[in-house]
Structure 1
Amino acid sequence: MFGYYFDLAWRSLKRNKVLTALMVLAIGLGIGASMTMITVLHVMTADPLPDKSARLFYPQIDPQDMEGYTPGKEPMDQFSWIDAMNLLHARKGSHQVAMTGGRVTVRPPQGESRAFFADARYTSSDFFSMFDVPFLYGGGWTADDDDRQARVAVISRTLADKLFGADHAVGQSLRLGKDVFRVIGVVDHWDPVPHFYDLTQGSYHKTEDVFLPLETAMALGQGTSGNMSCWGHGGFPDPRNMKNANCVWMQFWVQLDTPAQVQAYREFLVHYSEQQKMLGRFQRPPNTRLHDLMGWLDYNHVVPGSVQLQALLALGFMLVCLVNTVALLLVKFLRRSSELGVRRAMGASKQSIFAQLLTEASLIGIAGGIAGLLLAFGGLWIVRHQPVEYAPYAHLDMAMLGATLVLALCATVLAAMFPAWRACRVQPARVLKIQ
């Protein structure tokens, strides 16, 4: 029966090529525009660690003096060295990691003339297990390596291929500036989107190529990068003595596996702030926060309001296209009243006519979905060439590709419901009498 309906639908569509093309174009434009922006929004709102994000938390405390104090104001987004180390060594979570960004000079084995800069991450040992970093070869360092300031390094697969060949990188000597490190691990392709663990580098910053123990990097004076906020009247701090500066420039994450741990950590942050105030380091009343990973992204407005607005406008445009499609289908189906009346007079039921018309609409929807896919690919290509940081990630994955076709088909079938129902209500006797 479906084959029969398909044959009738195909014949009907070929008889009205211009009208068919208009409907396919309307569906294609609506789907293309909406799926372009929905894909961008999908990329920007994706959970970078879907299996673990609910257990990863970013705390906040307020270490500033009373100058400019406003009750209830949000605390600072980063940590000073002293506070980051205190929270790290308190070990109140299942895992905890203190870190900061950096930039190092890589001196390759091929010669000094080929030296280049690379982004680096100075971090404590729990970074790799806490964020489920995949290793191609080797692994990360230990807490003992942190304590003894071991000169070890983990590098990305891209950098390993460039310097040594990924399968020969472990055990090699890596020269960073004037210092030499031993490569102990090669990270496989890993590029979480957004760059959640350090948003100061940019919400969609590329993953770093070099990972070093935090204590080692600070002891050797490796250069840091990222935002820094200071308070007081001491002027800009000495880069060689950042450990004692009244500045926040580090990030801190903690893994809390149960609601009880989360509650205990909230209380710990308040008690820590009270303790530091008693010691004279903090002046403000305790002002703490604890965001889970997705809450932290939302708090930092990782998704710009302009992108959300564009997605809504694109969906509105698709709705307009569907309304136009409804009108075109209504005209098309009602113009065939005589044909449908003859079929009814020959014994076809309303259900059969309805199914036939929906089959025809489904073909239009599939064609419109294919056209929409082509337009979406073109739209995403344009987005990838825009000067925005999320541009490189604007790709249509398999899930969104399937969603495009399903959306086109469902939208067209729904749009055809009223025209098909209206066409089925035409009385055969009235149509035949008119003829």
Structure 2
Amino acid sequence: MTALVIALLAFGVSACMVSYAVFRATTGNPLPDKSSRLYVPLIDNLGPDYNDGGEPYWSLSYVDAMALWQAHKASRLTVLYATTWQVQSDNSSVPAMSLGGDAVTADFFPMFEVLFRFGGGWTADDDARHANVAVISQSLNETLFGGQDSIGREIQLDGQLFRVSGVLQDWNPRPRFFDLGSHHSAYNFGFEDTGDIYIPFTRATDMKKNSEAVFCPTASWRADTTHWDAYLHSECDRIDAWAELDTPAEVNRFREYLHNYAEEQQRLGRFSWAPNIRLRNLTDWLAYEVGTPAVSILSMLVSASFLLIILVNVVGLMLARFMRRAPEIGIRRALGASRTAIYRQFLTEAATIGFVGGLLGVALTLLGVMGASELFAPNIARLVHVDASLIALTVLLAVLATMASALYPTWRAAQTQPAWQIKINH
């Protein structure tokens, strides 16, 4: 009976922990130290016919993005968009590659606490000069330069030479929050890997590089880039913007600036609707745009229900286990043992059973995490991992669940009448 209780607990707890590991991976905060200071500004440039229940579209037009960037109303502000590059190497043994990345401004790297293995980002002066500089990922540096310090070396992007100013050090925040509006990961929960190449926004614009995700309502979601300058000044939404605002006063001033800017566009005749702006911090932005994948929530509900059913059965098993020992309890009580001593004994036994069940549950959790790819999408399954905190939580949940299940059986056992048991066993 004890072995059955241990096995049931192990299966129930491990199911919960695997689901929790997925839930934790999909709801994590990519920048916990700065999430309250990073904000996404949005301006409705499309009007009521193209917003979602009054909410502006989740990216900006080029006109609005440049206006925000050039206004210098935040301590740091970056505009960016996701795009792809054709990468060629001077090494003939390395084939040409098509790789993703982002066109960003200089503030991007300090704002998002990007880690570098070699070098660093570029300067605001490089943005102004439309410089041919690039930051590359560690994996691309391994491919092109064998992992050596490549600062000052050149790479060829879309046939043009760029000087490497920095090499990233395993920077891969989850979810991929910073370019949700301009990257197709926005339609895939935002859990794809970050890109391999980052170049100045101004240089990418000169090269007529377009965003991966563009919303042009007048062109049925398709962007007409034949006339590039006209396209830039169209109402196509394709650019992400982030502002770093350190105090509530700065947030209020920036929100007021956004409202005044939208009012000005209305007076100029560009907008025919009342100002409609949003300013959300990183946490609120993720909750609104990414949320929690339905499969993660569903798995949590199913596993929690499974554990609850198991605990109901454990209560019955523990009750049968304890009540079979009624003669022992009666004799102990007759010899002077208090009800408190009975409680202490049986709850200690329950905690021990829970601990053993927790250890078995850890093993089953490890197996469950290894098989997560069979139940969840690959881009979510590969985020799931087991660490010390998950192991400790598994054991703790098993112990607490067993002790909770043992409360009623222990109470029943402690009510055993010594005289009745002695009479029966006389």
TM range (shorter): over 0.9
Cα deviations across residues 130-182 of structure 1 (Å, max 9, x unaligned)?
A: 01111111110011100101111111112112211334221211111201111
Partner of 2:404 in structure 1?
414
Which residues in structure 2 correspond to 1:153-302 (within 5 Å)?
153-199=134-180, 200-202=183-185, 203-222=190-209, 224-232=210-218, 236-238=223-225, 241=228, 242-302=231-291
Change (3 A) 1:145 1:71: closer
Equivalent position amino acid for 1:230 in 2:
C
Match of 2:334 among 345, 354, 357: 345
Partner of 1:86 in structure 2?
67
Report deviation, 1:72.
6.0
Cα deviations across residues 330-373 of structure 1 (Å, max 9, x unaligned)?
A: 10000011122223333333322222212211121112112222
Q: CA RMSD in A?
A: 2.0
Change (3 A) 1:167 1:370: same
- Residue 371 of structure 2 aligns to a residue whose secondary structure is helix
Cα deviations across residues 182-219 of structure 1 (Å, max 9, x unaligned)?
A: 11111111111111112243110101111111111121
Match of 1:42 among 12, 16, 24: 24
In 2, the alpha carbon distance for the partners of 1:114 and 1:280 equals 51
* Aligned residue pair count: 415
Tell me the TM-score normalized by structure 1: 0.90
> CA contact under 8 A between 1:173 and 1:181: conserved in structure 2?
yes
More moved, 337-346 vs 144-153 = 337-346
Report deviation, 1:32.
1.2
Partner of 2:304 in structure 1?
315
Report deviation, 1:126.
0.4
Change (3 A) 1:257 1:360: same
Does 2:314 correspond to 1:325? yes
> CA contact under 8 A between 2:216 and 2:235: conserved in structure 1?
yes
Match of 1:59 among 30, 37, 41: 41
- Residue 413 of structure 2 aligns to a residue whose secondary structure is helix
Equivalent position amino acid for 1:310 in 2:
S
Tell me the TM-score normalized by structure 2: 0.92
> CA contact under 8 A between 1:384 and 1:394: conserved in structure 2?
no
More moved, 420-429 vs 118-127 = 420-429
Partner of 1:3 in structure 2?
none
- Residue 166 of structure 1 aligns to a residue whose secondary structure is coil
In 2, the alpha carbon distance for the partners of 1:353 and 1:313 equals 36
Equivalent position amino acid for 2:135 in 1:
V
In 1, the alpha carbon distance for the partners of 2:25 and 2:47 equals 40
> CA contact under 8 A between 1:32 and 1:373: conserved in structure 2?
yes
Percentage identity across paired residues of the two chains: 38
Structure 1: runs of 5+ lacking an equivalent: 1-18
Partner of 1:8 in structure 2?
none
Change (3 A) 1:267 1:315: same
Equivalent position amino acid for 2:247 in 1:
T
Does 2:14 correspond to 1:24? no
Change (3 A) 1:366 1:137: same
Report deviation, 1:282.
2.4
Report deviation, 1:108.
2.4
> CA contact under 8 A between 1:384 and 1:393: conserved in structure 2?
no
Structure 2: runs of 5+ lacking an equivalent: none
In 1, the alpha carbon distance for the partners of 2:272 and 2:166 equals 43
Cα deviations across residues 247-289 of structure 1 (Å, max 9, x unaligned)?
A: 0111011111111111111111111011122223323221111
